[in-house]
């Protein structure tokens, strides 16, 4: 598919990503389930673009996680999530975040009971949580900006059904059925 101009503010699909300039509105459908979403579920996202070299360094220690806000670009756009998906996402994130407090509880139990096996569990939970922190930062949003070039952002994390619907809308709007349809804007 030919690359549209950034000034047109029209999204297009490139493999498993949607390519958009900032300040774009995607169709009012859930990007995961492709169900129509209500206006309350359709919101503005402000996603960061973090270069790959910084993603690798984030796993080396907390200093590099602190530097991330200073070297990234941001893409602001509108997209929606269904209530069902948001609920499922909340449950999984809550479980992952609970690993850190669990290590503190296990350490307290090890000290109170004098049993070393609880201390081993506490240390292993702490190590796991240290590895999960960068992942939770990277995947804080289900969508990610995987590339930034010339004012355009490649956004991943959308379902194949949503991408197919976006391509169908794009092909329908590029082949107008009547002269009146050719003057309509897509978004």
The answer, yes or no, to whether residue 16 has pLDDT greater than 70, is yes
pLDDT at 182 over 50: no
12-16 average pLDDT score: 88
Rounded Cα distance between 36 and 24, Å, is: 18
Assigned token pair, 91: 């449950």
Check whether 129 has a pLDDT greater than 60: yes
What is the pTM for the complete model shown? 0.64
Asked if the model's pLDDT at residue 8 lies above 60, the reply is no
DSSP letter string over 44-75? Answer: EEEEEE--HHHHHHHTT-HHHHHHGGGS-EEE
Nearest CA-CA partner of 67 in 81, 56, 80: 56
Q: Which residues pair with 79 in a beta bridge?
A: 43
Contacts of 152 (CB under 8 A, 6+ apart): 6, 19, 20, 21
Tokens of 37: 């979403």
């Amino acid at each position: 598919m030919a690359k549209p101009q950034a000034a047109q503010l029209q999204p297009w699909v490139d493999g498993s990503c949607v390519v958009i300039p900032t300040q774009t509105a995607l169709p009012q459908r859930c990007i995961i389930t492709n169900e129509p979403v209500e206006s309350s579920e359709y919101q503005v996202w402000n996603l960061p673009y973090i270069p790959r070299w910084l993603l690798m360094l984030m796993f080396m220690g907390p200093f590099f996680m602190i530097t991330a806000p200073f070297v990234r670009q941001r893409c602001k756009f509108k997209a929606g999530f269904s209530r069902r998906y948001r609920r499922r996402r909340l449950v999984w994130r809550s479980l992952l975040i609970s690993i850190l407090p669990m290590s503190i509880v296990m350490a307290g139990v090890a000290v109170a009971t004098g049993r070393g096996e609880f201390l081993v569990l506490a240390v292993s939970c702490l190590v796991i949580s240290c590895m999960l922190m960068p992942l939770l930062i990277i995947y804080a949003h289900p969508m990610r900006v995987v590339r930034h070039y010339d004012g355009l952002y490649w956004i991943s994390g959308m379902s194949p059904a949503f991408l197919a619907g976006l391509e169908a809308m794009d092909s329908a709007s590029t082949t107008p059925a009547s002269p009146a349809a050719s003057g309509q804007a897509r978004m």
